[in-house]
Structure 1
Amino acid sequence: MSDVIAEAREVRKHFGHLEVLKGINLTVKRGEVTCILGPSGSGKSTFLRCFNQLETMDGGYIKIDGQPLGVRINNGVLRKQAEAEIAKSRENIGMVFQGFNLFPHMTVLENICEAPIRVRKEERKTVTARAHELLKRVGLSDKAHSYPVSLSGGQQQRVAIARALAMEPKLMLFDEPTSALDPELVGEVLDVMRDLAKAGMTMIVVTHEIGFAREVGDNLVFMDGGYVIEQGDPREVLSNPQHERTQQFLAKVL
């Protein structure tokens, strides 16, 4: 098994005449935490959404475990996958959004169990046991039968993480998971993410949490204007950025 779990090469994306991603390259090793920083509009979230085909690439490719996303290769020719094939590939990739996106009419337990039962046709008993373990893991064992409206933002985001983990993904994507939270609730979500990193979960995290990137990240990527401007060890990049644009950005946010 290769130590590379995800590979992006020359990924491009445009919306009309606006080119948002201009040839992005990234390699993610198994068990690593890759943090992506950059100003608003730099293409961070769009790039992340390409990893599970929520955005369709206009050029380049992304591979997960050596298999290209959204396309298949026939006799050396790339062909777009059918929607059913794309949906199948998404099963191995968990994603946590800025908003919590929980189903308001379902309990916490039902939210977590829904995808494994509906998508993978797993037995309810097996999935329910896994869901309770995940709730314990994110510190919400007592909230299994609560509805999202009764939870704080931090609690809802922790449920969203548990829901993504219920599919037992190979890769977890986080799109600014703390940006919608009140400052005092940020820590409880970051603590869960730290525990995931310690357990060896491969993660790509779009974030403005510089402290988290420095402490937990194995690789830091700074994006601006649809390009990767600089990347490397987070401690090194944050303390000694080489590119002028990175220096300007960090001078404002640190």
Structure 2
Amino acid sequence: MNQTQTTEAAAREPLLTMHQVRKAFGSNQVLQGIDLEIYPGEVVCLLGPSGSGKSTVLRCINQLETIDSGSINFKDEYIGVRPKNGRWFDLTERQKARQRREIGMVFQKFNLFPHMTVLENIMEAPVKVKGITPDAARQTARDLLERVGMAAFGDRYPVQLSGGQQQRVAIARALAMDPELMLFDEPTSALDPELVGEVLDVMRELAKSGRTMMVVTHEIGFAREVADRIIFMADGTIVEEGPAASVVGSPQMERTQQFLSAVIH
């Protein structure tokens, strides 16, 4: 196998694999055996009604929730657990934190530290978690702020920013760890309508740059534009998945058709 073939084969290996993942909250079975693969450089959008399990998928990947059964494999390593002698053992908090370094997450709420400036918010994790020098972290933070259109706001505090500006800072903060995978959990749902576009513009640029992304969103037009693949979920299951144009343009499953007819005007 030559170098080109080796590279192509590696590119076909999934970055993330979920196998029969189940998760319940009390008697509510939120995920009912999810099977999913995400490939390097792929942008995948998760669509579906509220309560379908989309956000729970992301929270399980980032170990904010513990799965009840099944497995999640990221870069050939099981998330949250390790096998030994035919049994599974939970990772320590330190080991979980190491895995989280390579997975960035942007939430509905911005979760910025209110007592820190924009620049300090972005520098915090690279310095404290990765041990990067403050000078190097500051330069990276400035570069990222420029990338998300916030170069002039480094010395501001979160309270001095609009919701859209805070979300762009939150994206820069996640990127500061240079993660292999970016998770976006309805990043525009808490924003006023006129601020949604500025955040989606940043995400469009990330998608064009080849960043591997999983995005839970209700922005159907955005999903159709940037996603390589759309996954439609309902009642804790994957109902339909495929290329964005196919799933949005000509959905095959009745449940998908019902959802899209209700949200596309």
For normalisation by structure 1, the TM-score amounts to 0.98
Q: Following TM superposition, by how much is the alpha carbon of 1:76 offset from its aligned partner in structure 2, in angstroms? A: 3.7
Q: Following TM superposition, by how much is the alpha carbon of 1:79 offset from its aligned partner in structure 2, in angstroms? A: 1.4
Matched, 1:247 2:234: no
Q: Which amino acid aligns with 1:118?
A: K
Q: 1:231 maps to what in 2?
A: 241
Q: What is the 5 A alignment of 1:32-181?
A: 32-181=42-191
Distance in 1 (alpha carbons) for counterparts of 2:95 and 2:240: 34
Deviations 1:62-84 (A, max 9, x none): 11111110011223432111111
For structure 2, list consecutive stretches of 5 or more residues without a partner in the other structure. 1-9
Distance in 2 (alpha carbons) for counterparts of 1:166 and 1:9: 30
Deviations 1:98-141 (A, max 9, x none): 00000000000000000011111111111111000000000000
Distance in 2 (alpha carbons) for counterparts of 1:130 and 1:63: 29
Specify the SS of the correspondent of 1:223.
Answer: strand
Q: 2:205 maps to what in 1?
A: 195
Deviations 1:169-223 (A, max 9, x none): 0000000000001111111100100100111000000000101110100010000
Deviations 1:206-245 (A, max 9, x none): 0001011101000100000000000000100111111111
Distance in 2 (alpha carbons) for counterparts of 1:196 and 1:90: 20
Distance in 1 (alpha carbons) for counterparts of 2:90 and 2:20: 17
Distance in 2 (alpha carbons) for counterparts of 1:74 and 1:211: 46
Q: Which amino acid aligns with 1:63?
A: N
Distance in 2 (alpha carbons) for counterparts of 1:240 and 1:59: 34
Distance in 2 (alpha carbons) for counterparts of 1:228 and 1:76: 30
Distance in 1 (alpha carbons) for counterparts of 2:129 and 2:249: 45
Distance in 1 (alpha carbons) for counterparts of 2:28 and 2:263: 27
Of 76-85 and 127-136, the range deviating more from structure 2: 76-85
Specify the SS of the correspondent of 1:23.
Answer: strand
Q: Following TM superposition, by how much is the alpha carbon of 1:2 offset from its aligned partner in structure 2, in angstroms? A: 4.9
Q: 1:207 maps to what in 2?
A: 217
For structure 1, list consecutive stretches of 5 or more residues without a partner in the other structure. none
Q: Which amino acid aligns with 2:195?
A: L
Q: What is the 5 A alignment of 1:22-33?
A: 22-33=32-43
Across the aligned residues of Structure 1 and Structure 2, the Cα RMSD in angstroms comes to: 0.8
For normalisation by structure 2, the TM-score amounts to 0.94
% identical equivalent positions: 60
Distance in 2 (alpha carbons) for counterparts of 1:23 and 1:127: 41
Distance in 2 (alpha carbons) for counterparts of 1:43 and 1:134: 31
Question: What is the number of residues matched between the two proteins?
Answer: 254
